[in-house]
Amino acid sequence: MADNKKVKAKAEQLKGAAKEQLGRAVGNERRTAEGRTEKARGDLRQAKEKAKDAFRD
């Protein structure tokens, strides 16, 4: 189950990064901001999963 959440976090990071780059490329500030938000959400999710793993060991 935890592996599934880690994959979801990584996918969210990648999706956010892609959306941010696309927004920058076309000059769409809203899409850039959405991408940053998604990427940050993925970063937080990944940090949470790493912290849970640290306490399991």
| DSSP per-residue codes, 10-29 | HHHHHHHHHHHHHHHHHT-H
**pLDDT per residue as tens digits for the range 34-51:** 999 999 999 999 999 999
Residue 43 placed within a domain: yes
Based on its alpha-carbon atoms, the radius of gyration of the chain, rounded to whole angstroms, reads 13
Domain that holds residue 43: 28-56
- Whether the model pTM is above 0.85: no
More confident residue, 32 or 56: 32
Domain count, the chain: 1
Q: Is 34 part of a structural domain of the chain?
A: yes
Report yes or no on 17 lying in a domain.
no
What b/e sequence results for 10-40 when a residue is b if at least 16 CB atoms lie within 10 Å of its CB, and e otherwise? Answer: eebbeebeebbeebeeeeeeebbebbeebbe
> Does 1 fall in a domain?
no
Taking residues 10-35, report their average pLDDT.
Answer: 96
| Rounded Cα gap, residues 50 and 21, in angstroms | 27
5 within domain boundaries: no
